[in-house]
Amino acid sequence: MSSSSSFGKEILVAVLVLAVLLAIPHFTSSRIVLDYVIRLAALGVFATSLNILVGYGGLVSFGHAMFFGGGAYAFGLLMQKAGASIPVAMLGAVAFCALLGLVVGAICVRLKEIYFSFLTLAFAMLVHTIILTWVSLTGGDQGLMGGIPRPVFLGIDLSKTVHLYGFACVVGVLSLMIMRYILQSPFGYTLRMVRDNSDRARFLGINVWKVKLYAFILAACFAGVGGSIMTLFVSGAYPEFAYWTMSGEAIFMIMMGGLHVFVGPVVGAGLLLLFNDLVTRFTELHGLALGVIVLIFALGFKRGISDFILQFVRTLKHRSAS
């Protein structure tokens, strides 16, 4: 099967999924359901962007929240201070994250393994500290005050929950499809080669540093998209968006959902959101409870749930063929 026909089928699946999502408000007006899907769109894009580094590049970043938070603040400030339209503000947030990713990535991707991971964490803590201390711009520990303006564009009024829901679904699915297309392109396969054997890739004439840097910038841009969606949802931006625990949550999503299936991080984001919503209703020790749940997934499946299912299906096919 050619890659073009395969991707065509994936586009068809994405369109069908989007159609189902957009149909949900016609069957239920529950704010719980709509809010869950909006948050899933934001965090699903965020977790998938991190998996570009972790799953496809072999680069475990502990500081990816700096782009989620950076995109959220850039988007919010463009809306508040500059009076930009929502599409322009979102593009501005992506541009800011690309620039931040270029600066941070140019330094970090030169390092390997744990050194890369902890240097990204150090940069994330620096960004978080700037957000806390630059009170006149960011609002400090109170976050952006006064709410986020939501001017109507193309007949879309994001002050209405249903419109915001539809916008989040479209942006989320479109972002996922763009990432999928890039990862199925020659660049995506080059990134996998660098992950698997960087010395061999270098011997073949590939500039390993550039490939890693491009992946880092790409991941930063899409994390900024996720941050922008979350800013619209909560009508603000808060320092917690850029804190190291946010990066940890994204890693948990990947662990629970799966590294090697593209939609795995989205599945993990959905599960973590669901467990978090359920746990917080029954106990104040939700951090401990969520930690136990993550351990159960890690020790029980020994991989993300989508990876486990994929391996199970492949095993069945192999047995039936033999």
Model pLDDT for residues 25-53, shown as the tens digit of each residue: 999 888 999 999 999 999 999 999 999 99
pLDDT at 155 over 90: no
Whether 270 maps to a domain, the answer reads no
Whether 237 maps to a domain, the answer reads yes
pLDDT at 1 over 60: no
Mean pLDDT of the chain: 90
Going by pLDDT thresholds of 50, 70 and 90, the confidence category of residue 226 is very high
pLDDT score of 298: 67
Alpha carbon distances (Å) from 177 to 28, 180, 229: 27, 5, 17
pLDDT score of 9: 85
pLDDT at 117 over 80: yes
The string of DSSP letters for 83-132 reads ---HHHHHHHHHHHHHHHHHHHHHHHTTS-HHHHHHHHHHHHHHHHHHHH
**Cα 258 to Cα 273: distance, rounded to the nearest angstrom:** 16
Whether 307 maps to a domain, the answer reads no
* Residue 24 falls in which region: left (phi positive, over 0), alpha (psi -120 to 50) or beta: alpha
Whether 159 maps to a domain, the answer reads yes
pLDDT at 169 over 80: yes
Residue type at position 22: L
Whether 269 maps to a domain, the answer reads no
pLDDT score of 293: 76
Count of structural domains, the chain: 1
pLDDT score of 8: 75
Alpha carbon distances (Å) from 212 to 40, 95, 105, 111, 201: 27, 19, 8, 11, 12
Whether 274 maps to a domain, the answer reads no
Per-residue pLDDT tens over the stretch 50-98: 999 999 999 999 999 999 999 999 999 999 988 889 999 999 999 999 9
pLDDT score of 37: 96
Q: What is the CATH number of the domain that holds 197?
A: 1.10.3470
Mean pLDDT for the stretch of residues 243-255: 92
pLDDT at 302 over 70: no
Q: Identify the domain containing residue 44 by its residue range.
A: 3-246
Whether 43 maps to a domain, the answer reads yes
Per-residue pLDDT tens over the stretch 180-221: 999 999 999 999 999 999 989 999 899 999 999 999 999 999
Going by pLDDT thresholds of 50, 70 and 90, the confidence category of residue 240 is very high
Alpha carbon distances (Å) from 213 to 124, 203, 220, 238: 17, 19, 10, 28
pLDDT above 70 as % of the chain: 96
**Cα 124 to Cα 119: distance, rounded to the nearest angstrom:** 9
pLDDT score of 69: 97
Per-residue pLDDT tens over the stretch 118-153: 999 999 999 999 999 999 999 999 988 778 888 888
Whether 168 maps to a domain, the answer reads yes
